[in-house]
């Protein structure tokens, strides 16, 4: 099939590349000329395992194209995916200006029947707005061209997006007629050869499914973090509690690890957007509000422990921070806990030496660029030199089995704040570390 994907951000680039991998002719479109030229040169703007190789392979084969010419890309497509950003507004709502701008371009450019797919995470009712925007442009052209609007929410995990797309656990499609539903089933059938994971439904239910899924996962995280805070106060061990409840098949072990809060491009934005939608329709989403409030507070749990241990005045102190990205296997720092932790320490006079395998550029160029008390190094051990303590924020694999003897040689004092509960407290004590966890 001939496909165009409007927007070459995380979702758009991964989706377009994976469709090309299955033999479709895909054109990825972006208004950022520099980004498009970089992609043509094989420079992928985001870190995602396996993505760069797949982009290069399909670009060389001619199944994947990049352009800034949105009109020609749409005119030549049977299916057009809208994969532009929906940033969070000041009131928590999803900003649809970019989605609707693309819809307008589709109405101006389409020449024949086309299926328009909302791939961006959008509030319930967005498909109706997209349809209206396209139809308005067709009316201005006096063009009687049929089209369908479909919802196809993405469920990609950063760090495992290629695997998730090529081997999906479900493909959710919201459509209002059999024709567009059948076209989408044909498009995705190569990804579901062993078992049909295609779930068809109405459009509004599909739009709601994405928000409900992310809100559920965020709820599990905030619930476990709240339990960890209770454990800490009553003298229980959250790590043992986690094992005790995770063994219940009704609960399971996924997303019940205590930590210093969730971040990223999805959970924070989607929880707030869903809460805003609920309030717009006259309902107070008490659980969603609590999930967000718990997560907001959780991001300061580690910095609070540091302050409790060393005092409010951190002048002259140096802290090594391991991990900047909001999770491993990505360079994404949107809403990352590391930002909050580092800013809480440096505003009290501390200096931070930070190391992350992939997110250094994001921190230096954007998220922490105005913080003069942060320096960056190229290895986890380099960060430790003469530091008063080390703080583990992101659970990258290379942090799982460090050389503890080397750590003690490099640190000024062997003090370890673990924001992801990666190690056993008894073992760490036996190794000679003053060790701080969450929920213990």
For the annotated catalytic residues, the residue numbers are 266
Structure-block tokens of residue 274: 């869903």
Q: Are 271 and 285 in contact (CB under 8 A)?
A: no
Please give the Cα distance from 8 to 332 (Å, whole number).
15
Please give the Cα distance from 237 to 357 (Å, whole number).
31
Q: 257 CB contacts (<8 Å, ≥6 apart)?
A: 224, 242, 420, 421
Structure-block tokens of residue 227: 């339990």
Tokens 């190391």: give the residue: 355
Please give the Cα distance from 212 to 216 (Å, whole number).
6
Alpha-carbon distance values, 351 to 383, 435, 440 (Å)? 11, 21, 27
Please give the Cα distance from 252 to 255 (Å, whole number).
9
Q: Which parts of 323-392 fold into alpha helices (H)? A: 337-346, 360-362
Q: For residue 193, give the H/E element and its range.
A: none
SS3 state of residue 210: helix
Please give the Cα distance from 180 to 173 (Å, whole number).
10
Please give the Cα distance from 10 to 156 (Å, whole number).
10
Q: 70 CB contacts (<8 Å, ≥6 apart)?
A: 6, 29, 31, 102, 105, 109
Q: Residue 384: how many CB atoms within 10 A of its CB?
A: 24
Q: For residue 380, give the H/E element and its range.
A: none
Fill in the DSSP letter of residue 398: G
Please give the Cα distance from 60 to 188 (Å, whole number).
23
Instruction: Return the closest-CA partner of residue 342 out of 373, 317, 313.
Output: 373
């Amino acid at each position: 099939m001939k496909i165009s994907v409007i927007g070459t951000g995380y979702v758009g680039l991964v989706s377009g590349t994976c469709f090309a991998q299955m033999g479709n002719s895909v054109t990825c479109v972006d208004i950022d000329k520099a980004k498009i030229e970089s992609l043509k040169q094989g420079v992928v703007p985001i870190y995602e395992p396996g993505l760069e190789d797949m982009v290069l392979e399909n670009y060389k084969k001619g199944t994947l194209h990049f352009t800034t010419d949105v009109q020609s890309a749409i005119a030549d497509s049977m299916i057009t995916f809208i994969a532009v950003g929906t940033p969070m507004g000041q009131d928590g709502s999803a900003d649809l200006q970019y989605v609707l701008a693309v819809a307008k371009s589709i109405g101006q450019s389409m020449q024949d029947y086309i299926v328009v797919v909302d791939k961006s995470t959008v509030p319930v009712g967005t498909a109706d707005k997209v349809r209206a925007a396209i139809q308005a442009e067709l009316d201005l052209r006096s063009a009687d061209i049929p089209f369908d609007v479909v919802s196809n929410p993405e469920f990609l995990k950063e760090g495992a997006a290629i695997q998730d797309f090529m081997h999906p656990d479900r493909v959710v499609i919201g459509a209002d007629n059999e024709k567009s539903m059948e076209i989408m089933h044909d498009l995705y059938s190569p990804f579901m050869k062993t078992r049909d994971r295609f779930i068809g439904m109405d459009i509004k239910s599909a739009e709601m499914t994405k928000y409900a899924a992310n809100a559920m996962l965020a709820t599990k995280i905030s619930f476990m973090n709240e339990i960890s805070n209770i454990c800490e106060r009553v003298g229980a061990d959250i790590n043992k509690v986690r094992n005790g409840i995770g063994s219940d098949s009704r609960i399971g072990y996924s997303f019940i690890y205590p930590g210093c809060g969730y971040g990223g491009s999805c959970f924070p934005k989607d929880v707030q957007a869903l809460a805003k939608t609920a309030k717009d329709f006259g309902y107070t989403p008490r659980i969603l509000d609590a999930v967000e409030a718990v997560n907001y507070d959780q991001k300061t749990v580690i910095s609070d422990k540091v302050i409790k241990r060393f005092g409010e005045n951190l002048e002259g102190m140096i802290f090594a921070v391991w991990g900047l990205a909001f999770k491993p296997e990505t360079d994404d720092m949107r809403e990352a806990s590391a930002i909050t932790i580092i800013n809480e320490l440096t505003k009290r006079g501390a200096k931070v030496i930070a190391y992350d395998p992939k997110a250094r550029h994001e921190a230096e160029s954007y998220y922490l660029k105005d913080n003069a008390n942060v320096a960056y190094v190229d290895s986890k051990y380099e960060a430790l030199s003469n530091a008063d303590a080390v703080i583990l924020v992101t659970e990258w694999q290379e942090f799982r089995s460090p050389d503890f003897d080397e750590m003690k040689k490099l640190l000024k004092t062997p003090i370890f704040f673990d924001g992801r509960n990666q190690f056993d407290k008894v073992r760490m004590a036996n190794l000679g570390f003053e060790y701080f966890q969450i929920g213990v």
